[in-house]
Structure 1
């Protein structure tokens, strides 16, 4: 098992406030990877108008919500299951599959390993190589798959590297996993930020593969981490039936149901988000690519990984420098396979992004 170091999560503003003496209201979090637009006006007004929904139980089967999600994703309603954030569904899939040995592409989110360990499973990592700019060598990866592996976990686009696996390569992985009887769990938390969603998302592959489940949420793209609304897409009817039997009823509250039916059809907000992120992604990548201090890795999500090239400066040094200016970045030394010369930041509004760039480059 990889030993994970302690770190400040993007939501740990209370800890920052306590340690640095900076009010959390004065901190701009470049660490949380949340949409800088905040929640949409339609969502805010819609929740206010429908606040009386909390006086009744939501539909136990969440049919209308699942239908909205299915239309948004381009799949069938029966292939959708909702949960209290994607975290609940990650936990459920792992509880049901009970992998004795799981393979995870790393460096990545530590929650996968924690959940697998809670079920008594062992986790091994396949490291994404810096010399390949953290882009997966699919053929080499497939050669390492074996029948003693029960589950494969992939974050796509990956956090923190920002790299992504396209549909063509994911199909090759699924074919190889099918031969070895490996279940594949793909976390698509950041896929909606990708410029080429259809090329990166594996939703279309669920029509022909029953050995894959896709996890998504509303925390990042829809700027609603407090809503705790997540969902999974899977065409394996037997597995989905077990999921629904095991899942506690009413884990999605009535406000989240209303919010979901509004946000997934809010095309104006969705397009504004994608436009802003695409523009800032291109602009900031160009800035850091020309810098002698950092090496940027092309991101498919709404955040960018930087390698510090200047001697004598660590990721902790830059974290400390930024937080004292009220800007919170991510010190990536806490991720497996990344040392003290990597940082990550998400794309905020242009004005705040410019403040961060000035601080990092000067």
Structure 2
């Protein structure tokens, strides 16, 4: 029997195999937040032809890759640092800035606090309020900024709430941070999925603020977490020099380097991804809004946070019901400020989304003794 303390990340499929006796290849992960279209067709078609690149070292400066990212992201190549996933770049940034006290907007991804702690700092949280649908109240938030804070961490769109902060709001925050000498790190892992990307994309702000660094990667939108390619964008050239000094050479392997030069040019794939996520996001949100025993929070990213309003039904129960059907959602009870009434799932292909919706609604309206009597599939 699964314990209530057992929670699973989107990459924990091996643990699912052990606990539930379900082969990982048979599980559809609605927890990993990865593009359901899979790898870019252009990348799939052309990468094998470039296999011989592994016989040579990559370019230490990754000039071609940085130019390709700059064209895609709308910035200068000189503003870009590439790394072995965004996690490496977060670590390098923390090592250089050594924030003693960071403010994190939560609930959010736990890796920020972990990296800050490893760097010897402590983290405080500014909690997004449920009564405001986890949207930020900028006027109130700014009153919590002061000289005792070294670093502000924002995930935009935020994981797991799927809410976002507009450029207009970010300007107010950055202005206040500038006054208090606070550096701002914005994680834009999910920004490419947003319908309002132009309104929340903070890259243009790097031309006006030197206390800003933006993190992105290819794990989610380009469905390539195994390539471990991330990039950071900042207008602070001194910070770029410091990070490059500390970086180990060739942290990105040759295949990841050449893959990066290909995938950002696959315009058909990018457009198809945006269209699929946009339509499914609207459809699923509308369907969930009709259920009085659920409360979906309006999503900006490729996933949605949902609150259970039925007594005695928990996120663990929803997880159990879904995994029995080989569908894996995210129990959000381990996120700061969230209880066992919250769960999250990403948008997949329509037929799979329908399968999960049916499962959730069946569990919601099931009055049998299933709830609280969790028996794992064997």
**8 A contact 1:187–1:216 mirrored in 2:** yes
Structure 2 stretches of 5 or more lacking a match?
A: 363-378
- Residue 24 of structure 2 corresponds to 24
What is the root-mean-square deviation of aligned Cα atoms in Å?
0.7
Say yes or no: does 1:60 pair with 2:64.
no
Q: 1:199 to 1:310 in 2, by over 3 A?
A: same
Gaps of 5+ in 1: none
Given the alignment of the two structures, is residue 98 of structure 1 paired with residue 98 of structure 2, yes or no? yes
2:196, 2:124 → 1: CA distance? 30
TM-score by length of 1: 0.98
Indicate the residue corresponding to 2:12 in structure 1: 12
Cα distance in 1 for partners of 2:71, 2:290 equals 41
Flag as ranges the 4+ runs of structure 1 deviating above 3 A: none
The CA distance in 2 between the partners of 1:32 and 1:238, in whole Å, is 35
Contact 1:217–1:231 (8 Å) recurs in 2 = yes
Residues 197-243 of structure 1 deviation map (CA, whole Å, 9 limit, x = unaligned): 11011000001100000000000000000010000000101111000
> Which aligned pairs between 1:96-135 and structure 2 lie closer than 5 A?
96-135=96-135
1:222 is matched with 222
CA distances 1:145-166 after superposition (whole Å, capped 9, x unpaired): 0000000000000000000000
- Contact preservation (8 Å) 1:6, 1:334: no
Number of corresponding residues? 358
* 1:293–1:361 contact (8 Å) kept in structure 2: no
Q: Does 1:346 align with 2:356?
A: no
Q: Within 2, Cα distance between the matches of 1:143 and 1:13? A: 42
**2: distance between equivalents of 1:252 and 1:113?**
25
**Per-residue CA distance 1:311-362 (angstroms, 9 max, x = gap):** 1100011111111110000000010000000000000000000000000011
Q: CA deviation at 1:7?
A: 2.5
- 1:202 aligned partner: 202
1: distance between equivalents of 2:174 and 2:274?
29
How far did residue 41 of structure 1 move? 1.6
User: 1:184 aligns to what SS in structure 2?
Assistant: strand
Maintained 8 Å contact 1:161/1:305: yes
Asked if 2 retains the 8 angstrom alpha-carbon contact of 1:60 and 1:250, the reply is yes
Superposition deviation, residue 6 in structure 1: 5.8
SS at match of 2:57: coil
Aligned to 2:88: 88
1:39 paired residue number: 39
Instruction: Give the Cα–Cα distance (whole angstroms) in 2 for the partners of residues 214 and 77 of structure 1.
Output: 14
SS in 2 for 1:210: coil
Structure-1 residue corresponding to 2:259: 259
Partner of 1:213: 213
